Amino acid sequence: MEQRSLYDYTLTELTALLQSWGEPAFRARQLYRHLYVNLVQHPEQMTDLPLALRRRLAEIPLSTLHREHVQIGDNGMTRKALFRLPDGAVVETVLMVYPDRSTVCVSTQAGCGMGCVFCATGQLGLLRNLSSGEIVAQAIWASQELRAMGMAGQSGRVSNLVFMGMGEPFANYDRWWQAVERLHDPQGFNLGARSMTVSTVGLVKGIERLAEERLPINLAISLHAPDDALRSELMPVNRRYPIADLMAATRHYIAKTRRRVSFEYVLLQGKNDHPHQAIALARLLRRSAPRGPLLFHVNLIPWNPVPGTPLGRSEWERVTTFQQILTDYGIPCTVRVERGVEIAAACGQLAGRQFIPVNAVGNES
C-alpha cells in the first residue's frame, strides 16, 4: 500500500485528522499554511504549533519524494531533480528560471505506458501512477529551490506549471486533478488556473472530461504528425484515438470552454518535417477548427536527443521553413525555446537517470 504524506491530504482531510487528535480546526489551517505558503521542510519549523502536535505530525512523512540529486544546466537557470519514491520508482521534475518568471515541469506518473517512439520516458514503460501528494510535492520543491536561489522579485514562487514531465496526466486523471485543485487553492499554494497547462498524448476521454471542469487550465495536445499512418508509427495511442476522433474531442472542448488549444509538434529530421507535411498539417488544422476566431496554436519542438533511438533532430533551416509554411496558412506558430538539453531535462528526455550529453545543441526561436 502507498505511503500517504501530508501533501496527500486536502484541507478538509487535514482538519478531520487533527480533530480526531483533539485539535481545533484552526490548527489545520495553520498546518496547511506551513505546507503551501511557508514551504517548511520539517514539522519542527512549524513553531506556532504545540510541541506535542509537531511531534505527532513528524510521524507522517511530509513528502514521500526523496531527492537523490539535482542537475544544473543553462548557467544555473535550469534544474532537474531526480526523486526516489518509497517503492524505489524514480521521477524527475524540471525547474526553469527566466528573468521575469519561472516554470516547473511536473511528472504525473513514474514512467509512461504510451510508448511514443521519440521519448525517453516512453522507453521505461509505466511503473505506476503518482499520488496527488507526489505530484503536488514537485511544485513545492520547485518553490523551495527558487527561494534557496534567492530569486528577487519572484517571491520564491513558481509562476507557471506545466504537466509535461514523465507520464500521461489523463491516464492518472483523478489524482492529477486533485493535485491541480490543491495547487490552485487560494488558501494554500494559490497558483492561478491559467498559469497551469496540461499536455496530453490525445486521450479523448480526458479531453472531454477536462472540458467539464470548473478550473480553466490550459490544454496542449501532442500531435506530431499530420496523418494517421505516421502518427500511429510515432505514437501508438493513435491506433486507439485516430486524428479524426482527436479533432472531434478538441472541437467539443473549444465549444464548451472557448479556450485556445495548443498542438505540440516535435520535429524529426526526414520523418515529419518536410514542407509537404507542414502543408498537410496546416490544412488539417484549418478544416478541423471550429467556426469563428482560430483558437489553435502550434508549438514546434526541435527534437531533443534520446539515446538508443534512430531518430534525428531537424536542421534549423527545416524548422524555420516548417514554421513559415504554417504562418503562411494563418496558423499561429512558435518554436519552443529549449532548456536543459545538456542535462537531459528537455522535452522527451526524462528517463530517471543521469545523462551523458550526446552533442546536444540548443536553438532558440
**Catalytically active residues, by annotation:** 92, 347
- Which residues, other chains included, contact 218 with Cβ-Cβ below 8 Å and sequence gap of 6+? 194, 196, 197, 198, 259, 260, 262
Q: How many CB atoms lie within 10 A of CB 294?
A: 13
For the chain, the residue count is 365
What is the C-alpha radius of gyration for the chain, rounded to an integer number of angstroms? Answer: 21
Segment near ligand SF4 (CB under 6 A); pick from 3-11, 67-75, 164-172, 324-332: 164-172
Query: According to the binding rule CB under 6 A, does residue 168 interact with ligand SF4?
Result: yes
Q: Which of residues 197-236 bind ligand SF4 (CB under 6 A)?
A: 201
Of 105 and 278, CB closest to ligand SF4: 105
| Choice between 6 and 112, CB closer to ligand SF4 | 112
Backbone phi, psi, residue 74, to 5°: 50, 50
Give the contacts of 56 (CB within 8 A, at least 6 positions apart): 21
12 to 29, 192, 354: CA distances (angstroms): 9, 21, 39
DSSP 339: -
C-alpha cell at 182: 490543491
| φ, ψ at 149 (rounded to 5°) | -75, -10
- Would you state the cell numbers that stand for residue 353, as one nine-digit string? 537517470
Which is nearer to ligand SF4, 57 or 198 (by Cβ)? 198
Q: Report the distance separating Cα 333 and Cα 294, nearest Å.
A: 12
Span from 163-171, 188-196, 241-249, 293-301 in contact with ligand SF4 (CB under 6 A) = 163-171
Q: How many residues bind ligand SF4 (CB under 6 A)?
A: 12
- Contact track, ligand SF4, 95-134, x by CB under 6 A: -----------------x-xxx--x-xx------------
Residue ranges in 54-93 that form contacts with ligand SF4 under rule CB under 6 A = none
CB nearer to ligand SF4: give 115 or 332: 115
* Min dist. Cβ of residue 164 to ligand SF4 (A): 8
Q: Which is nearer to ligand SF4, 112 or 207 (CB)?
A: 112
* Residue 143 in the binding site for ligand SF4 (CB under 6 A): no
Catalog residues that contact ligand SF4 under the rule CB under 6 A.
Answer: 112, 114-116, 119, 121-122, 166-168, 201, 348
